[in-house]
Structure 1
Amino acid sequence: MISINIDFLTNHPDKINEVSEMVFKEFVVKTGSRKKFEDVVNHFSNTKNNTFPITLIALENGKCLGTVSIFDNDLAIRDMYKPWLASLYTKPEHRGRGVGEKLVAKTIDVVKELGFNELYLRTEDASNYYRSRGWTYLETVSDDKYEKIDVFKIQCI
């Protein structure tokens, strides 16, 4: 049986374009952002493994199955919360195999190693997913782009 390995994107520069494509299609195009693909590639080319932004990828037999990032802030109107889980994405053909859960678990480990006790996230459409996985609902807010953003946190213990 092949196991899924979670590692820093910085250790796999050959996966930057693939991760950029996933995030661009899911979180840029679908949200109507004006960000260009080159901007996304540039962002992922400059992630770190011990300071934000940090990006992790799920690998199986050399294939990238999904990704997640950690940002200092992912919601300008809530800058008192930090850090944030962001851009969790598993390729559709690999969903239902626990890839997302493994990415989140490693994210929590990384955040804890960096000295944080809590991790936050925002979602416009996946509240039930996070609630069912132990995240605590904090509030629903609006910004200039979205009417309803649910904010969650989880303890990193």
Structure 2
Amino acid sequence: MPQIDWLENHMNHCDTFAQWIHQQFQYEFEDIDLAQWQLDFAQGQGNGQWQCLVALDQGHLLGGAALAKEDLPSRPELGPWLACVFVDPAARGAGIAEQLIEGICTHARDTGVETLYLHTSDKQAYYAKRGWAVIEQFEAWGKAQWLMSRSLR
């Protein structure tokens, strides 16, 4: 069973997780180089922009997910967001992503958030099975995207 904890308590993994996100969602980072993203992401752990939960196994990083204040530039009126969900391919299939997502949802609910948002280009069915509803489909970064929400009440 992996340990789920806040990244701010394990900042030695911050650059690695930021690199995984930068690589996985490279279409979103066309104008941001890796070093700048790593700096922004690290600062976000302390300033509330990116509150990231990580999964660890004996100190080894398995994956993470973030509660982000902003994650879709075209929809600044929405938020907060479930963002940066990523599990190392070698650790997939064990329910780690779901634990991280539920951890973010629980934290958001506990801090008074009533609705959480996300956008995805390819995991809409995964999220729909877990209580997320499609708000709309749109085009961004040259890909079809789904804007989804989940009531936390």
- What's 2:19 paired with? 21
**Does structure 1 residue 85 correspond to structure 2 residue 61?**
no
SS at match of 2:101: helix
Higher strand residue share: 2
Q: 2:135 pairs with 134, 138, 146, which one?
A: 138
- What's 2:148 paired with? 152
What runs of 5+ residues in structure 2 fail to find an aligned partner? none
Percent identity reads 25
- What's 1:117 paired with? 114
How far apart in 1 are the matches of 2:46 and 2:136? Answer: 30
Q: How far apart are residue 96 of structure 1 and its match?
A: 0.6
Q: 90-99 or 78-87: which moved more?
A: 78-87
Q: Does structure 2 conserve the Cα–Cα contact (< 8 Å) formed by 1:8 and 1:49?
A: no
Can you list the C-alpha shifts for 1:103-130, whole angstroms capped at 9, x where unaligned?
0000001111221111100011111111
Q: Does structure 1 conserve the Cα–Cα contact (< 8 Å) formed by 2:49 and 2:70?
A: no
Q: Does structure 2 conserve the Cα–Cα contact (< 8 Å) formed by 1:54 and 1:71?
A: yes
Can you list the C-alpha shifts for 1:54-73, whole angstroms capped at 9, x where unaligned?
11111111111001112112
What is the TM-score with the length of structure 2 in the denominator? 0.90
How far apart in 2 are the matches of 1:108 and 1:54? Answer: 12
Q: Does structure 2 conserve the Cα–Cα contact (< 8 Å) formed by 1:44 and 1:55?
A: no
- What's 2:97 paired with? 100
How far apart in 2 are the matches of 1:146 and 1:81? Answer: 21
Q: How far apart are residue 50 of structure 1 and its match?
A: 7.7
